[in-house]
A and B are shown apart, each in its own frame.
Chain A
């Protein structure tokens, strides 16, 4: 049984800041990436903190998820450094990071990962609107969510991706923070890795078993979210059962590629859709239009999305940032999560679960998938 600890502060944020500060101080961390409140606006952004005193403005629990930080960690760790960095990540951010480490776009060699029971977030547009009106309820959001035991029926602003996320709990972070079922204001900590164990045992917190009810609560949350997902996926499957259906679903796409930029696991250094391959000559458009009678422009929209599915579907962690990024409110997270899940099941692959599972298209064996061939 993994040793667990309890931290009791004046409230949740105070407890978590206690933890972050002591990780900072005892593990010779030189900087920590964590959502921090901007000094003069409502904005909360991942911020690289090197002065532990600044952790006072840290807030990982607000329903604000402007971007998937795995991409930032990739920027910060793609070259070897002797300095130790820590990153506070939602579980889906950590999963995306694991995927990036597998394809060598990030490393965890000198990175301490910290994750927590994720209560979900609001869509960016929703959060920003509320925050500008002073109604963002950053403080109190997590408390309410904990009180309802992550019951999504009582939180109607939650992003769909969060509503249907079946893995909102920390698993393989070095340091895993538990919130559900603890006494109000206090948090639990356990190590998800050997490195995490070393760090945590050095922190001088009080060992205490996790609340006895926690396992059941967690199971119930996952069950509810899976059911919500089932419903969403069934509706989606009906809506996109044909290529025409997929075309309709994406009809308002303007090929801005924001979804691709926001996606933490869209890994190509240069997207083929930005290359000469798709930079057609005017006469080509004209001749295609003649062939078909009409040519919807910009073209290659379905092609773009199918290509994205082929490239990153196996790694989709369901973070929902694609939906956040779309200027035309296309429900991309549902689409990509559903397609990704199907593709992943075909290879028995769970993205972000373990560094030991190779990316399915990076390995191949002689005696496998015999059922793919044949006529």
Chain B
């Protein structure tokens, strides 16, 4: 499992975490290339189906990251996201997709360093956990 490179799909809010990721890049904060960023306008638009589809397409972990409580540009999208992620934890957890594999974080636009830190930590932990699904062919 030493050379297992996890794939992480990150749904990041345009107004905060996406900007933070950009900032991390421009300020030469290095973070592992395992993460694929998908920019969304708000965490409130992350349909739980997107998360499920990511896992069913072979993602080993999913990150949903948006604005801190009180900072959502659409007022409460992040609170809706929080309930949806809670629901997903409850459902996917039963099928071996534990909550370590589906994370919700709040990372503000100026938190480039925090973003790089989160990705580092997540990649290391998912590497230790191994692939989310060992035989995708059985997941019909």
B-binding residues in A (CB < 8 A): 237, 240-248, 250-251, 253, 272, 292-294, 296, 299, 301-303, 306-307, 309-310, 313-314, 338-339, 342-343, 345-347, 360-361, 364-366, 368-369, 372-375
Selected from B52, B82, B133, the residue in CB contact (under 8 A) with A372 is B82
Complex Cα spacing A314 to B91, Å? 10
Nearest chain B residue, comparing its CB with the CB of A342: B90
A99 to chain B, nearest CB (A): 16
Q: Dominant SS at the B interface?
A: helix
B102 to chain A, nearest CB (A): 10
* Beta-carbon contact of B48 and A310 below 8 Å: yes
* Beta-carbon contact of B49 and A346 below 8 Å: no
A-binding residues in B (CB < 8 A): 48-49, 52-53, 55-56, 69-70, 76, 79-80, 82-97, 103-106, 118, 121-122, 132-140
B119 to chain A, nearest CB (A): 10
**Chain B residues closer than 8 Å to A313, beta-carbon distance:** 87, 91
* Beta-carbon contact of B138 and A310 below 8 Å: no
Selected from A246, A253, A345, A346, the residue in CB contact (under 8 A) with B95 is A246
**Chain B residues closer than 8 Å to A301, beta-carbon distance:** 140
Instruction: Identify the 5 closest CB pairs spanning chains A and B, nearest first.
Output: A242-B96, A244-B138, A364-B79, A346-B90, A247-B139
**Chain B residues closer than 8 Å to A246, beta-carbon distance:** 95, 139
* Beta-carbon contact of B79 and A365 below 8 Å: yes
Nearest chain B residue, comparing its CB with the CB of A248: B138
* Beta-carbon contact of B87 and A343 below 8 Å: yes
Count how many pairs of residues, one from A and one from B, have CB atoms less than 8 Å apart in the complex: 121
* Beta-carbon contact of B90 and A361 below 8 Å: no
B83 to chain A, nearest CB (A): 5
* Beta-carbon contact of B70 and A366 below 8 Å: yes
Nearest chain A residue, comparing its CB with the CB of B63: A375
A235 to chain B, nearest CB (A): 13
Given contacts A242-B95, A243-B133, could you give 15 more A-B pairs where the C-beta distance is less than 8 Å? Answer: A242-B133, A243-B97, A246-B95, A247-B140, A292-B136, A293-B137, A299-B140, A310-B91, A342-B94, A360-B87, A361-B84, A364-B79, A364-B80, A375-B103, A375-B122
Query: With A244-B139, A292-B136, A375-B121 in contact, is A310–B82 under 8 Å at CB?
Result: no
Query: With A244-B138, A247-B138, A375-B121 in contact, is A302–B91 under 8 Å at CB?
Result: no
* Beta-carbon contact of A369 and B83 below 8 Å: yes
Nearest chain A residue, comparing its CB with the CB of B48: A310
Complex Cα spacing A272 to B88, Å? 19
Query: With A299-B140, A314-B87, A372-B85 in contact, is A245–B95 under 8 Å at CB?
Result: yes
Which of A244, A246, A301, A372 neighbours the largest number of chain B CB atoms within 10 Å of its CB?
A372
Query: With A346-B86, A361-B84 in contact, is A373–B140 under 8 Å at CB?
Result: no
User: Can you offer 5 A-B residue contacts whose CB atoms are under 8 A?
Assistant: A240-B94, A243-B97, A244-B134, A342-B90, A373-B104
* Beta-carbon contact of A366 and B79 below 8 Å: yes
Selected from B88, B103, B105, B132, the residue in CB contact (under 8 A) with A243 is B132
Complex Cα spacing A354 to B94, Å? 27
